[in-house]
Structure 1
Amino acid sequence: MWQEIHGSSNWDNLLDPLHPNLRREILKYGEFVEATYDAFDFDPLSEYCGSCRYNRHKIFETLGLTKHGYKVKKYIYALSHVDVPQWLKRSHAMWSKDSNWMGYVAVSRKEESHRIGRRDIMVAWRGTISPSEWFSDLRTGLELIDNTNVKVQEGFLGIYKSKDESTRYNKLSASEQVMQEVRGKGEEVSLTVTGHSLGGALALLNAYEAKTVIPDLFVSVISFGAPRVGNIAFKEKLNELGVKTLRVVVKQDIVPKLPGLLNRMLNKFHGLTGKLNWVYRHVGTQLKLDAFTSPYLKHESDLSGCHNLELYLHLIDGFLSSTSKHRWNARRDLALVNKGSDMLIEDLRIPEFWYDFPYKGLVLNKYGRWVKPGRQPEDIPSPLGVETPPKNGRPQPF
C-alpha cells in the first residue's frame, strides 16, 4: 500500500487516527532529515564549517541509518551568499567560501526496493538552526517561478537555483545537482522529497520541478515545520501536477506561520483574498501535533525547542489521534529530544543540548597539545567528486 501511504488518496482515513505504517514512514524520512543536522559541521572554528563531516559512503553507517536500506548517491551544495541565515554567512572556511552542504540524494537498495515494491529516490534537505533567524530571512517578496502567475519566496528560490561558474562547488545549482539524479530506468520509481524548516520549503520547490520535468513520476513530499513557500497559483499548480504533500506541524511552532504575520489576518477574509497572487498559501495535507499532549515535555514557551526536529519525531511517535493521549508504548528514545534543545522535563534527568563531540572536538596530540583534529582524507569535501582511492587504487565518487 505504498502509494496510499505516500498520499495517492491525500491520506484520507490515515491521519486521525494515525495509521501505524504511515507513522513508521514519517519517522523514517524524519530520521533521514535529522542526519543532515547530525552530520553538518556548523562549528565556526572549523576549517570545514558548512560542510558534511562524513563522506557519502559512511554517513548512514556512522549515524546508524543503515537499517532503512538506502544508500547515498550524491551530496547537494547551495551558495551561501544568497538569502540565507547570518550564521551560514560566517562559514568562509578553507574548504569553500561560497557554498554550504544542504542535503543529499539517496536511493533504496535492491533488497529494500523489493520489499517496498518500487525503487524510492529520496532527497533530504537541511534547514536552519534557530526560528529567530526567520524574522530576518523572510523579509523578501514573491518572485515568478515561470511564465505563469506562480510565485514563490525569492530567498528560497535563490538558494535552490543560484550558481556561479567561479565557485568550486556550485558551478551547478542545487536544483541541477538534484535533477541529475532524479531519473527512472524503466522500473517503478517514486520520488520522496523531505525536509525540515527551510529544508521543507526547498523540498516543495524540488518536487515542483521534478513533477514538471517528469510528469509520470510519482512525487510526494513529507515536510516538518516548513514555512509557507508560494502564492495560491503555486498551490494550485502543485495540486494540478499531482504532487502529494504531507505537512507535519507542531501547534506551538512559529515557523509554519511564516512568512509574514499579515497572512494570518488575511486568512480571516479568504473569500476576498483567496486569489491574490501576493498572499502566501500553505499546500498539501496537514498533520498537526500538540506539544502539550506529551507528558515528557516542558510546557514553557520555547520557540527554538518547539521547532526542533527531534521534538517533532517524538510527538509523531506518540501520536494516536487528535483526541488521544501520548501513546504509552511509543518506542523512540526520549533522550533524543534533548540532543539540540532543553525541552524534556527535569524529572527525566536528561542533559540539555547533549549532542556534542567530546572536549568540544579538541584532541590531545602526541606533543601533549589540545588541538583541532584534521579530518580523515576520505571525509574532506572534494569539488571534483572524488574521494581518496581505496585499496584497489580505483577512486570512488564523493
Structure 2
Amino acid sequence: MEAKMATPRGVAMKRVTMLRNGTKKTKWYWKLKFGIRLKAIRSAISSSLHNQRRRLTCSTAIPTNTPVNGIVSPLVVHQSRSSSKKNELRLAKPLASLLRMPLRAADFIDFGNHMTPTLSPRENISAVWRDLHGASDWDGLLDPLHPFLRREIVKYGEFAQATYDAFDFDPLSEFCGSCRYNRHKLFNELGLAQNGYKVTKYIYALSPVDGPDWFESSKIGEVWSRDSNWMGFVAVSTDEESDRIGRRDILVAWRGTVTPTEWYIDLKTKLKKIDRSDKKVKVQRGFLTIYKSKDEESKFNKTSASEQVMEELNRLINFFKEKGDREISLTITGHSLGGALSLLTAYEAGVLFPTGVHISVVSFGAPRVGNLTFREKLNEMGVKTLRVVIGQDIVPKLPGLFVNSIVNKLSLVTGKLNWVYRHVGKELRMDMYMSPYLKRESDMTGSHNLEIYLHLVDGFVSRKGKFRWNSRRDVALVNKGSDMLVEELRIPQFWYQLPHKGLIKNRFGRWVKPGRNPEDIPSPFSQPSHV
C-alpha cells in the first residue's frame, strides 16, 4: 500500500444553546477531521530530507554486460519507468538503499575500517585490450562508458597526474624544476605501485626564453639546472600486470605547463614543419620547441626531450621483441601541454616503429597540435587517440579559439584547408556540471584541472546520464590543487602540499629547509633501469 496522507473529511455537528426566555437555539456547522497514517508521516519526512540533499542526488546503479567471446560489450543503460517523485529517497526503503547515498561531510571523517575503498576492482582484460585501446575506434564503448575502459583511462590519468605531484616547483628550492624522488621510488611515494609499472627513464626538456628575471622559476643562485625541467618519464608494465592486460605495455607520461617559460612558449601558435620528408605536416611551434630543443652547454639537455624518449623506446622495444614472450603496446598520456607532447611522441614513434607495436594516446584537456596533414598522417600510421575533454575547459579549443570554430562549422567548404589546426582522434566529452560534488560557478582554471578530469571520468556513465552513485575514486582529490568542491563537503582548498611547506625541525630545534637524500638528487649521468 502506498504511503500517503488521507484527505480531510467533513463531519456534520450541531450546537444547542439555551436562551434566556427558555427556548433552545440549534446551530449546525461542519467540523473537519484529518486522518493521518504512519506511512504519511514517513513520506513527509522523506520528502524533506530529499529536498535538503537534492544537490547531491546521484543516479541509481546501472547494470553492465560482460565480455562475450573476447569482445567488449557496451554498457546498457536502463531508463527508469517510474516518475522522478517515485525515485525520491524514502526512509521506508531498505538499509541497502540508504548506503547508496552520495558523500557528505561526515564521510570524510575517519571512522575506521567500514569506509568504502577508493579503488575499483581490476579485471583481467587480456582478451579485449585492443578494443580498449582503439582497435575499433572505441565504437560503442564511450557512450555509455564501458567500466573496463573507465578504469584504464583513470589509470593512465593518474600516471599523468604523477608528473605534477612529484614536480618540485618551490622557487626557494635549489632543485626547483626537478622531480622530488628518484625513478626507483616514484610510484611508491605517490601510491601508484599497485598499478604494476616500473619507471625506466626520466625525461628532461628545455624551454628557451630570453626574458626578464621573473621568467626564471628559481629565486636562488645555485640550482641543479638553470635551463632544464623534469618533463615526464618512461615506464614499462611488470610481468604480473602484463598478464592482466594481455601485452607488454610501454608507457610515456608527459607533464603539462607549469613554469613561466613554458606558458610563454605555449603562446607561439605559428605552424612549423615537423617532418623533413613531408613539408606539409606542420604542428604548433611552441610545443615543438619544448619537444625538440637542446643545448650542448646544458647538463640535462645535451639531447632533446624527443631524442631522450625515442632512444629509450627503441631500447625497450628491441629488448622485448628479442624476448618475444608477449605483444608490445606503446601508450602515451599527458594533460594539457603533456597531451600535445603525447601526439608529437606518437608521430615520431609511428615513423620509427611502423610495425609490430600498437600505439595509442590517452590525453586530457589537450589543445590542438597540428594541421590536417598531421592528423591524416597519424591516421595512416594507425595511431589511436582518445581525447578526454571537459566542455567548460577552454584549452581544448586552442589554438585558434574563434577562427577554428568558424572554419569547423563550415567544414564542407573549408575541409581541405591545411593552415587550420585540427584535433586528432576520438573524443570523450564530459560536462563539469554533471557531478553533484562540484561547484556550479564558472572557473576556467578549475575546469582544466587534471584531478577534476579524473573525478568526472570515474563518475561518467553517459552524456545524458547522471553521475554514478557507486564511483570509487576519492572525491577529496578534486581539491588537491583547486577549490572546486561544494562547501557542504568541508574539504580544504589546495590541500596538497609538503608538511610545514617543506620545513623540518633539526636536532637543535630550528626550522630549516632539508637537503635531499643523495639518491633523489638529479644527475645527468644516471642510466636507464634494466628490464
CA-based RMSD of the aligned residues comes to 2.1
Q: Secondary structure at the match of 2:194?
A: helix
Q: How does 1:215-294 map to 2 (within 5 A)?
A: 215-216=354-355, 217-261=357-401, 262-294=403-435
Q: Per-residue deviation at 1:277?
A: 1.9
Match of 2:343 in 1: 204
Distance in 2, Cα, partners of 1:161 & 1:134: 17
Q: Secondary structure at the match of 2:283?
A: strand
Distance in 1, Cα, partners of 2:441 & 2:259: 17
Distance in 1, Cα, partners of 2:505 & 2:472: 38
Match of 1:96 in 2: 225
Q: How does 1:48-197 map to 2 (within 5 A)?
A: 48-81=175-208, 89-91=216-218, 94-129=223-258, 137-146=266-275, 147-148=277-278, 149-183=280-314, 184=317, 185-186=320-321, 187=324, 188-197=327-336
Distance in 1, Cα, partners of 2:368 & 2:224: 33
Distance in 2, Cα, partners of 1:79 & 1:136: 11
Q: Secondary structure at the match of 2:202?
A: strand
Q: Secondary structure at the match of 2:312?
A: coil
Distance in 2, Cα, partners of 1:89 & 1:307: 24
* Residue-by-residue CA offset, 1:105-152 (whole Å, 9 max, x unaligned): 000011111221111000000002499x86873243000111320100
Closer, same or farther in 2 for the Cα pair 1:252/1:309, shift >3 Å?
same
Q: Given that residues 231 and 255 in structure 2 are in contact (C-alpha distance below 8 angstroms), is that contact kept between their aligned partners in structure 1?
A: yes
Distance in 2, Cα, partners of 1:355 & 1:323: 33
Match of 2:59 in 1: none
Q: Per-residue deviation at 1:202?
A: 0.0
Closer, same or farther in 2 for the Cα pair 1:155/1:54, shift >3 Å?
same
Distance in 1, Cα, partners of 2:389 & 2:258: 17
Match of 1:343 in 2: 484
Q: Given that residues 390 and 453 in structure 2 are in contact (C-alpha distance below 8 angstroms), is that contact kept between their aligned partners in structure 1?
A: yes
Q: Given that residues 291 and 315 in structure 1 are in contact (C-alpha distance below 8 angstroms), is that contact kept between their aligned partners in structure 2?
A: yes
Residue number among 144, 161, 164 corresponding to 1:34 in the alignment: 161
Match of 1:392 in 2: none
Letter in 2 for 1:213: L
Closer, same or farther in 2 for the Cα pair 1:83/1:260, shift >3 Å?
farther
Could you list the runs of 5+ residues in structure 2 that have no partner in the other structure? Answer: 1-127
Match of 2:133 in 1: 6
Q: Secondary structure at the match of 2:429?
A: strand
Q: Per-residue deviation at 1:82?
A: 5.2
Match of 2:469 in 1: 328
Q: Given that residues 273 and 283 in structure 2 are in contact (C-alpha distance below 8 angstroms), is that contact kept between their aligned partners in structure 1?
A: yes
Distance in 2, Cα, partners of 1:264 & 1:62: 42
Letter in 2 for 1:100: N
Distance in 2, Cα, partners of 1:306 & 1:202: 21
Q: Given that residues 83 and 159 in structure 1 are in contact (C-alpha distance below 8 angstroms), is that contact kept between their aligned partners in structure 2?
A: no
Letter in 1 for 2:343: L
Match of 1:16 in 2: 143
Q: Given that residues 207 and 265 in structure 2 are in contact (C-alpha distance below 8 angstroms), is that contact kept between their aligned partners in structure 1?
A: no
Q: TM-score, normalised by structure 1?
A: 0.93
Q: Given that residues 253 and 307 in structure 1 are in contact (C-alpha distance below 8 angstroms), is that contact kept between their aligned partners in structure 2?
A: yes
Closer, same or farther in 2 for the Cα pair 1:77/1:47, shift >3 Å?
same
Distance in 2, Cα, partners of 1:344 & 1:292: 12
Aligned length: 387
Q: Secondary structure at the match of 1:102?
A: strand
Match of 1:315 in 2: 456
Once the two structures are aligned, what percentage of the paired residues are identical? 68
Closer, same or farther in 2 for the Cα pair 1:28/1:267, shift >3 Å?
same
Distance in 2, Cα, partners of 1:62 & 1:19: 30
Distance in 2, Cα, partners of 1:30 & 1:130: 21
Letter in 2 for 1:47: E
Letter in 1 for 2:398: L
Distance in 1, Cα, partners of 2:141 & 2:502: 44
Q: Per-residue deviation at 1:293?
A: 0.4
Letter in 2 for 1:64: G
Letter in 1 for 2:347: Y
Of 182-191 and 172-181, deviating more is 182-191
Q: TM-score, normalised by structure 2?
A: 0.70
Distance in 1, Cα, partners of 2:263 & 2:296: 29
Letter in 2 for 1:299: R
Match of 1:393 in 2: none
Letter in 2 for 1:377: P
* Residue-by-residue CA offset, 1:290-338 (whole Å, 9 max, x unaligned): 0100000001111111000000000000001111100000000000000
Distance in 1, Cα, partners of 2:215 & 2:397: 23
Q: Per-residue deviation at 1:339?
A: 0.2
